């Protein structure tokens, strides 16, 4: 694929209660961000199985964003806090084996942060555009 | 029977000359140990090995093989492999194992023929290398083989100091030697004597496992509690089955992407895995390691005797050598035979 | 070590006589050189002396015996869970502790016999020393000399200390704690964990790290020996074998194999005791120790948790602290 007209495919896993609502607010407020994102709604960032992330990369996704409620704001009290431990380790392990740190990103977005969501998406898209298409972990049939 | 001698350093020249358009496989010292791989020059070949880690079955029956590809509704069959092979250096036990696999992949009634395996086999010349010094874990002579066995081989080679003595044991082997006849020197009497002595010595040094009456015995003791005891150490991994030259079970799965494009692959499978016998209902008739290891042993030493008339074990000793808990099949057989 | 062996047999006999156990789990002489193997003794008679005298303790007792325990305690209303006596090294014990914490093994059903560990021999290191020449005999002397007989009939004398497993040289916990019985003796001095190697690996360019990972993974034949030999890989159904939603393919496709190992290692966070059972079990010599070690180090660094001998603390991945670091979070 030509890099010049290549547009990255990005998957965002957003928690139902904060980040998904934040994305909704960004939409309702008519904030502009890149069209590269496919959003998958999950009940809580604690629902994220690391396999979701690596499976996305295996299927040819160029970047993954996982976002949940800010620490302390979780709808289920502590789902995002337990998830935070998983994410911290996952990020380190992926970077350690040689995956670009920008490829998989984690963030917190609340329901009132439409601006933050739009800005965050633009940042992720920019980051992925800089590092180019994902090649590692991709399965050939994808 | 044709005989001929070449110098070791001329081996690749011989193989490539006779090969023509064939691919040449020989033992190399690879990343994971001794393995069979396609070679392109003499220095890649190693002769300093007892046996390869993975059995050469993967040359004919690869661990992963694409059977067909599909996209939407269009299905495309993958052509059966056409390439012709020369396989040098497999040990007599592994050569024997190929004759067993032949029986599985082309049953005598001719109803089920496996085109992928058979195509590769049809076009292959097997040049096996007689064992000078069998490993301590080898027991081929106890299961119908020999360190200088000819079954399954087109040519048997003896390693003599700096020379190799070739001896054809099939028409195909004879043809091979004819095409390269200029490279062979006449085999002299002392070469033949040396080879004979070497073969005798290797054979005499082999430990003997008494397996007389084993089939009748294991058929009777299927429910014996002893199975629990002898399989207690088993971890339930598939190392023994994947390294085994006669294990041939496989699974067929489809893999596709979101666009509906994909392929159907055949992959090795193992009776030691829970998925091997899992029914669609969720019921699994073999839930524990006792049942699974019993299946492995019964299959090799009883069921195949019923189905094909042979014990499907060639005594290569790989399962003994590489088992993480040293679960020794010789011990298990001895215990069962004493029951 | 001979005196330790004697002592283990004595204790095994004693707890059989006092009917404290139904099984004993130790090691016996293996059938190939440089290997002792797991050995179960089931009490059919009151003191199975013949079997007890087959118990050994030497430098080849590498297998982590904890791997056998969870199966005995799977819930089954028809069966009473057995009581098991087991001889343990530091690593075995820490694995058992991890299993106890995760409710896979009931502490009250286990009689622990701690053995101070002097480190175990690395079979591959010894074999490499003889470059393919077959080893047909091995024994060790109390003075720490390994006597090796090779195929050509020659005898070789190696220094035990030079052929120990990396895991043992670097081991931080060679001495057991909190066992029911403790065999007298001195353990080796604790190592530093070998985390400098992780640092050195981290300093390499990403492409180099990726190539290393790829090379090791490419040897894998998906025989699952690593998973089966791992004491803390106790899931009744592995994600690799879930079929309702098939996570990864069954073949040796590099991507599938990578994800298998990556997630397996990730699942060991807070459990892995760096016993290297996975590495030893692998028939193909896949070496992912650099990655298992990394996860252990990260868990320690991020959550101040080291899988040790205490059954009191909570496994790190099932808890949290409010002050856990947020420094990996992306800001717009």
CATH value at residue A20:
3.40.50
Structural domain for A88, as ranges: 10-131
Distance of CA B33 to the CA centre of its chain: 17
- Interface contact flag, C223 B239, Cβ < 8 Å: yes
Residues C196 and C249 reside in one and the same domain: yes
For tokens 């028939």, name the residue.
C283
Instruction: Give the pLDDT of residue B164.
Output: 95
| Residue range C221-248, pLDDT digits in tens | 999 999 999 999 999 999 999 988 889 9
Is C329 within a domain? Answer: no
User: What letter would DSSP give residue B303?
Assistant: I
DSSP string, C46-115: S--HHHHTTB--STT--S-GGGGHHHHTS--TTSPPP-EEEEE-HHHHHHHHHHHHTTSS-GGGEEEEE-
Instruction: Determine the Cα–Cα distance for residues B132 and B201; give it in Å rounded to an integer.
Output: 8
Of the candidates C208, C256, C324, the beta carbon closest to that of A139 is on C256
Q: C58 with C153, same domain? A: no
- Cα distance between residue B170 and residue C228, in whole Å: 44
Let me know if residue A141 belongs to a domain: no
> Is the same domain home to C201 and C291?
yes
Whether C16 is covered by a domain: the verdict is yes
Which pLDDT score, from 0 to 100, does residue B10 have? 92
Q: For residue B298, what are its two tokens?
A: 């019964």
* pLDDT of B19: 72
Those residues of chain B that have pLDDT short of 50 are: none
- Number of CB atoms found within 10 A of residue B8's CB: 14
Asked whether C195 and C292 are in contact (CB, 8 A), the reply is no
Q: Which of C105, C136, C163 is the last residue of a domain?
A: C163
How many domains, in total, are found in chain A? 1
Distance of CA C97 to CAs B234, C88, C298, C309, Å?
Answer: 23, 11, 20, 6
C231 and C281 belong to one structural domain: yes
Q: How many domains does chain C have?
A: 2
From CA C249, how far away is CA B270, in angstroms rounded?
A: 15
Measured between alpha carbons, how far is C39 from C30 in angstroms, rounded to an integer?
A: 10
Which ipTM value was assigned to this complex?
A: 0.94
Fill in the DSSP letter of residue C274: -
What is d(CA A108, CA B52) in angstroms, rounded to the nearest whole number?
A: 53
DSSP string for A54-93: HHHHHTT-SEEEEEEPPTT--TTSSHHHHHHHHHHHHHHH
Alpha-carbon distance C23 to C36, whole Å? 19
Tens-digit pLDDT profile for chain C (332 aa)? 789 999 999 999 999 999 999 999 999 999 999 999 999 998 776 668 889 999 999 999 999 999 999 999 998 889 899 999 999 999 999 999 999 999 999 999 999 999 999 999 999 999 999 988 999 999 999 889 999 999 999 999 999 999 999 999 999 999 999 999 999 999 999 999 999 999 999 999 999 999 999 999 999 999 999 999 999 999 999 999 998 888 999 999 999 999 999 999 999 999 999 999 999 999 999 999 999 999 999 999 999 999 999 999 999 999 999 999 999 999 99
Which of B188-219 are b and which e, b meaning 16 or more Cβ less than 10 Å from the residue's Cβ? Answer: eeebbebbeebbeebbeebeebebeebbebbe
In chain C, how many H helices and how many E strands? 12, 8
Minimum Cα–Cα distance from B259: chain A residue? A142
Chain-centroid distance, C-alpha A33: 14
CB B325 within 8 A of CB C63: yes
Q: Which of B236, B297, B248, B240 is nearest to C221 (CA)?
A: B240
Per-residue pLDDT at C178: 95
**CB pair distance less than 8 Å for C225 and B251:** no
Question: Which pairing describes strands C145-150 and C155-159: parallel, antiparallel, or unpaired?
Answer: antiparallel
Out of C163, C186, C217, a domain closes at: C163
**Within a domain: residue C332?**
no
Rounded to the nearest 10 degrees, the angle between the axes of helix A79-97 and helix C254-267 is: 130
Instruction: Answer yes or no: is A34 within a domain.
Output: yes
Q: How many CB atoms lie within 10 A of CB C308?
A: 17
B292 in Cβ contact with B228 (< 8 Å): no
Q: Do C319 and A93 touch (CB under 8 A)?
A: no
Whether residue B137 contacts residue B321, with contact meaning beta carbons closer than 8 Å, is answered with yes
What is the token pair recorded at B24? 């040449």
**B254 shares contact with chain A (CB less than 8 Å):** no
Residue A142: inside a domain, yes or no? no
Task: Please check whether residue B238 touches C, CB under 8 A.
Answer: yes
Residue B9: strand, helix, or coil:
helix
Tell me, yes or no, whether C6 lies in a domain.
Answer: yes
Q: Are residues C84 and C110 in the same domain?
A: yes
Both C117 and C127 in one domain: the answer is: no
What pLDDT is stored for residue B67 in this prediction?
95
CA gyration radius for chain A?
Answer: 15
Q: Who's near A62: CB < 8 A, 6+ residues apart?
A: A8, A9, A10, A103, A128, A133, A134
Asked whether residue C52 falls in the same domain as residue C143, the answer is no
Under 8 Å between Cβ of C281 and B235: yes
Same domain assignment for residues C71 and C148:
no
Report the C-alpha gap between A142 and B259 in whole angstroms. 8
Query: Does B132 contact C at CB distance below 8 Å?
Result: no
Question: Across-strand partners of B159?
Answer: B164
Q: Does C248 reside within a domain?
A: yes
Chain C residues in contact with A123 (beta carbon < 8 A): 330, 332
Q: Do A89 and C259 touch (CB under 8 A)?
A: no
Within-domain flag for A5? no
**DSSP letter (8 states) at residue B161:** T
d(CA C266, CA C317): 11
Does residue A136 sit within a domain? no
For B186-197, the pLDDT digits (tens) are: 999 999 999 999
Q: Which long-range contacts (CB under 8 A, 24 or more apart) does B254-261 make?
A: B255/A139, B255/A141, B255/C249, B255/C251, B255/C253, B256/A141, B256/B70, B257/A59, B257/A60, B257/A141, B257/A142, B258/A59, B258/A142, B259/B71, B260/B70, B260/B71, B260/B72, B261/A141, B261/B69, B261/B70, B261/B71, B261/B72
Range of the domain at C92: 2-122+164-318
Residue C107 forms part of a structural domain:
yes
Residue C256 is inside which H or E element, if any?
A: helix C254-267
Please indicate, yes or no, whether residues C312 and C239 belong to a single structural domain of this protein.
Answer: yes
CA distance B194 to B188: 10
Asked if C127 and C99 sit in the same domain, the reply is no
Interchain CB distance below 8 Å, A59 and B262: no
How many Cβ atoms from other residues are within 10 Å of residue C136's Cβ?
15
Instruction: Give the rounded distance of the alpha carbon of B332 from its chain centre.
Output: 22
A50 falls within a domain: yes
pLDDT at A54: 97
Domain boundary among C136, C163, C190: C163
Question: Would you tell me which residues 41-70 of chain B have a C-beta closer than 8 angstroms to some C-beta of chain C?
Answer: 48-50, 53-54, 63-64
Give all chains having 3 or more CB-to-CB distances under 8 Å with chain C. Answer: A, B
- Per-residue pLDDT in tens (0 to 9) along chain A, 142 residues: 455 789 999 999 999 999 999 999 999 999 999 999 999 999 999 999 999 999 999 999 999 999 999 999 999 999 999 999 999 999 999 999 999 999 999 999 999 999 999 999 999 999 999 999 999 999 987 5
Same domain, C43 and C189: yes
Is C145 in the same domain as C176? no
């Amino acid at each position: 694929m030509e890099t010049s007209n290549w547009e990255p495919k990005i998957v965002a896993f957003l928690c139902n209660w904060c980040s998904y609502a934040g994305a909704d607010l960004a939409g309702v407020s008519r904030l502009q961000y890149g069209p590269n994102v496919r959003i998958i709604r999950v009940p809580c960032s604690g629902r994220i199985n690391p396999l979701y992330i690596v499976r996305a990369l295996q299927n040819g996704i160029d970047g993954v964003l996982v976002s949940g409620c800010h620490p302390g704001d979780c709808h289920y009290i502590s789902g995002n806090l337990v998830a935070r431990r998983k994410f911290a380790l996952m990020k380190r392990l992926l970077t350690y084996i040689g995956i670009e740190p920008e490829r998989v990103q984690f963030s917190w977005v609340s329901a009132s942060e439409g601006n933050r969501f739009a800005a965050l998406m633009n940042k992720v898209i920019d980051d992925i555009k800089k590092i180019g298409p994902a090649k590692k972990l991709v399965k050939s049939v994808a | 029977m044709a005989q001929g001698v070449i110098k070791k350093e001329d081996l690749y020249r011989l193989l490539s000359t006779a090969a023509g358009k064939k691919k040449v496989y020989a033992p190399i010292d690879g990343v994971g140990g001794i393995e069979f791989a396609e070679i392109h020059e003499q220095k890649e070949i190693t002769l300093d090995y007892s046996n390869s880690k993975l059995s050469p079955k993967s040359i004919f029956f690869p661990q992963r093989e694409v059977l067909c590809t599909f996209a939407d509704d269009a299905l495309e069959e993958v052509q059966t492999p056409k390439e012709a092979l020369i396989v040098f250096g497999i040990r007599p036990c592994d050569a024997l194992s190929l004759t067993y696999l032949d029986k599985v992949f082309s049953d005598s009634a001719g109803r089920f023929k496996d085109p992928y395996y058979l195509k590769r086999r049809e076009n292959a010349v097997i040049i096996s290398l007689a064992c000078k010094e069998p490993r301590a874990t080898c027991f081929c002579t106890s299961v119908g083989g020999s360190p200088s066995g000819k079954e399954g081989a087109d040519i048997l080679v003896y390693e003599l100091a700096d020379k190799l003595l070739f001896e054809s044991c099939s028409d195909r082997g004879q043809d091979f030697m004819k095409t390269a006849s200029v490279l062979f020197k006449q085999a002299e009497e002392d070469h033949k004597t040396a080879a004979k002595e070497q073969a005798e010595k290797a054979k005499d040094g082999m430990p003997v496992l008494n397996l007389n009456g084993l089939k009748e015995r294991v058929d009777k003791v299927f429910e014996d509690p002893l199975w629990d005891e002898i399989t207690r150490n088993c971890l339930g991994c598939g190392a023994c089955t994947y390294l085994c030259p006669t294990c041939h079970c496989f699974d067929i799965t489809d893999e596709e992407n979101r666009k509906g494009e994909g392929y159907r692959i055949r992959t090795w499978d193992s009776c030691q895995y829970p998925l091997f016998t899992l029914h669609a209902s969720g019921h699994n008739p073999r839930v524990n390691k006792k049942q699974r290891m019993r299946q492995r042993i019964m299959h090799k030493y009883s069921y195949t005797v019923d189905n094909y008339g042979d014990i499907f074990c060639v005594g290569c000793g790989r399962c003994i050598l590489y088992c993480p808990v040293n679960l020794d099949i010789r011990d298990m057989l001895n215990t069962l035979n004493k029951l | 070590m001979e005196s330790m062996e004697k002592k283990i047999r004595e204790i095994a006999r004693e707890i059989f006589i006092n009917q404290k156990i139904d099984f004993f789990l130790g090691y016996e002489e293996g059938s190939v050189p440089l290997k002792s193997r797991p050995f179960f003794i089931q009490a059919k008679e009151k003191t199975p002396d013949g079997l007890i005298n087959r118990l050994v303790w030497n430098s080849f007792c590498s297998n982590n015996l904890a791997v056998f325990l969870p199966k005995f305690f799977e819930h089954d209303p028809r069966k009473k869970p057995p009581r098991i006596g087991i001889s343990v090294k530091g690593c075995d014990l820490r694995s058992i502790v991890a299993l106890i914490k995760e409710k896979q093994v009931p502490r009250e059903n286990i009689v622990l016999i701690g053995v101070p560990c002097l480190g175990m021999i690395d079979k591959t290191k010894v074999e490499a020393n003889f470059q393919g020449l077959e080893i047909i005999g091995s024994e060790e002397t109390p003075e720490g000399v390994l006597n090796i007989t090779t195929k050509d009939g020659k005898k070789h004398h190696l220094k035990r200390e030079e052929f120990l497993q990396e895991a043992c040289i670097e081991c931080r916990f060679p001495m057991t704690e909190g066992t029911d019985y403790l065999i007298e003796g001195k353990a080796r001095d604790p190592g530093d964990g070998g985390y400098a190697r992780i640092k050195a690996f981290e300093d390499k360019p990403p492409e180099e790290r990726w190539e290393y990972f790829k090379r090791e993974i490419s040897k894998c034949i998906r025989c699952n020996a690593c998973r089966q030999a791992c004491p803390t890989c106790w899931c009744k159904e592995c994600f690799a074998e879930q079929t309702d939603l098939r996570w990864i393919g069954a073949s040796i496709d590099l991507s599938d194999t990578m994800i298998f190992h990556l997630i397996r290692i990730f699942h060991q966070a807070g459990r892995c005791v760096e016993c290297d059972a996975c590495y030893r079990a692998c028939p193909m010599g896949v070496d992912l120790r650099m990655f298992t070690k990394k996860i252990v180090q990260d868990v320690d660094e991020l959550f101040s948790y080291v899988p040790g001998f205490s059954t009191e603390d909570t496994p790190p991945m099932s808890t949290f602290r409010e002050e856990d670091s947020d420094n990996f979070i992306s800001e717009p």
